[in-house]
Amino acid sequence: MLAIKLAIRNLIGAGLRTWLNISVLSVAYLIIIFHNGIIDGWNLQARNDTQAWEIGQGQLWHENFDPLDVFTYQDAHSPISKKMSKLIKQQKVTPILLTQASAYPQGRMQSILLKGIIPNQKIVKLPSAALSSENEIIKAIIGKQMAKNLKLKKGENLLIRWRDKNGTFDAIEIEISEIFDCDVPGVDNGKIWISLANLQKMINLENQASYFIVNEKYKGGDFEKWKFKTTDFLLADLNQIIEAKRGSGVVFYGLLLLIALLAIFDTQVLSIFRRQKEIGTYIALGMTRWQVVKIFTVEGSMYSILAAILAAICGSPLFWSLSKSGLAMPAGTNNMNIAISERIFPSFSIELIVSTLVFVVLAATIVSFLPASKIAKLKPTDALKGKIQ
């Protein structure tokens, strides 16, 4: 308690030097929390959106299916068994069939991936109900980015050409019945969704699928010849991108924190040099050397604590505002082929704030202890004479 009282008195007596150290360290606090809050918010949004729109609670892949190898698409399909059909009726899984095709908007040719899905499915957020049709016209839904690339609007027709399982080419006009707004490129960029029954008929693969999307009702594990892929597996690429972004930020705010800690270190060295007789007096009056070391160490730690208070006062309104309004992303981010929304809402969790506080306080304490540790070897007579080396 005595060490804390003396440390506070000394910090107040230092005046402007104390406020400069606290200000720099508080900026480091704010930047560390802000950067990690943005990354955590992006991670949370991207995972939720990807699961809601594309992967559900996991997927069942055909044994030959590889989403990164288009040459596997032609053979990566199998009939839907009676057991699997039962799961589909119970809304535990929904089948997806896909094939490569070409679209011809305004006379241009563009390669696309044609995907079939059941119109009445409820597992993913795709507006598949718009695929239901009462006439012979095949309905299709596309994402906002895909509509922009093809220069299509709702209600317009599009000529597509595909090749069936025997290699025979065919073509037909489809009608764009819905354009959905989605931040997940896996269901938008280069994708056109039609009814599963229509696609099965078009490529002569009756009652077949390439993979299944499952929800929380599915117990997990492989099913017959279908291999179960967990959400962790399906989100591995996103996790790698998130960690890479987090790592790049460490360099930036690490340098800022280093500058703040260096300022504290220099301040402590200067303080010990200028207060040699005071240190000698403490020891001469009966305080042990380690008690004096404790005073200077606590004094350095107080910088980080006061900086945290200042950061809380200045940063709380800013962080609250950002968590409500979000941070607008620059134009072009939707072309990066990763799940990222137009606005990211930071996630400033208690765990993030506490871990940052503990890390900075420990760092400031260690930096303060290093110069103060020399006092442990000091003789009282040398201190009174001003002979600290």
pLDDT tens digits for range 54-98: 999 999 999 889 888 888 888 889 999 999 999 999 999 999 999
Select from 292, 374, 364 the least CA-distant residue to 21: 364
Q: Which stretch of DSSP H or E encloses residue 260?
A: helix 236-274
Letter for the amino acid at 53? Answer: W
3-state secondary structure of 171: strand
Gyration radius from the chain CA atoms: 32
CA 389, CA 385: separation in Å to the nearest integer?
12
Percent with pLDDT over 90 in the chain? 33
Place of tokens 């506080």: 357
Confidence of residue 246 (pLDDT cuts 50, 70, 90): confident
3-state secondary structure of 28: helix
Residue 11, pLDDT score: 64
Q: Distance between CA 45 and CA 39 in Å, rounded? A: 10
Strand, coil or helix: 97 = strand
Task: Report pLDDT digits (tens) over 173-227.
Answer: 999 999 998 888 889 888 999 999 999 999 999 999 999 999 998 987 888 889 9
* Measured distance CA(145)–CA(231) in Å, rounded: 25
Cα–Cα dist 268/279, whole Å: 13
pTM for the predicted model, two decimal places: 0.78
- Is residue 364 classed exposed, middle or buried when 0-12, 13-18 and 19+ CB atoms within 10 A define those classes? buried
Residue 139 has pLDDT above 90, yes or no: yes
Name every residue whose Cβ is closer than 8 Å to that of residue 35 and which is 6 or more positions away in sequence: 249, 252, 253
C-alpha to C-alpha distance for 61 and 214, rounded to whole angstroms: 11
Specify the higher pLDDT residue, 114 or 327. 114
Amino acid at 326: G
Distance from C-alpha of 376 to C-alpha of 389, rounded to nearest angstrom: 12
Indicate if the pLDDT at residue 332 is higher than 60: no
**Highest mean pLDDT (candidates 99-103, 243-247, 289-293):** 99-103
In the chain, the largest separation of any two C-alpha atoms, in whole Å, equals 102
Please give the structure tokens belonging to residue 314. Answer: 């200045």
Tokens describing residue 165: 């399982």
* Residues 174 and 139: beta-carbon distance below 8 Å: yes
Listed in order, strand segments (DSSP E) in the chain are 59-62, 78-79, 93-104, 110-117, 138-143, 157-163, 169-180, 191-195, 208-209, 211-214, 226-229, 327-328, 343-344
**Residues of 157-194 as b/e, b for ≥16 C-beta within 10 angstroms?**
ebebebbeeeeeeeeeebebbbbbebbbbbbbbbbbbb
Helix count (H) and strand count (E) of the chain? 11, 13
Neighbours of 326 (CB within 10 A): 16
Which residue is it, tokens 């220099």?
A: 266
The dihedral built from the CA positions of residue 97, 130, 182 and 325, taken in this order, carries a sign that is negative
Overall residue count recorded for the chain in this entry: 389
Work out the angle between the directed axes of helices 276-284 and 236-274 (0-180°, nearest 10).
Answer: 80
Comparison of pLDDT for 24 and 384, the residue scoring more: 24
354 or 264: which carries more pLDDT confidence? 354
Q: Where are the domains of the chain?
A: 2-52+237-384, 59-229
Pick 267 or 258 by higher pLDDT. 258
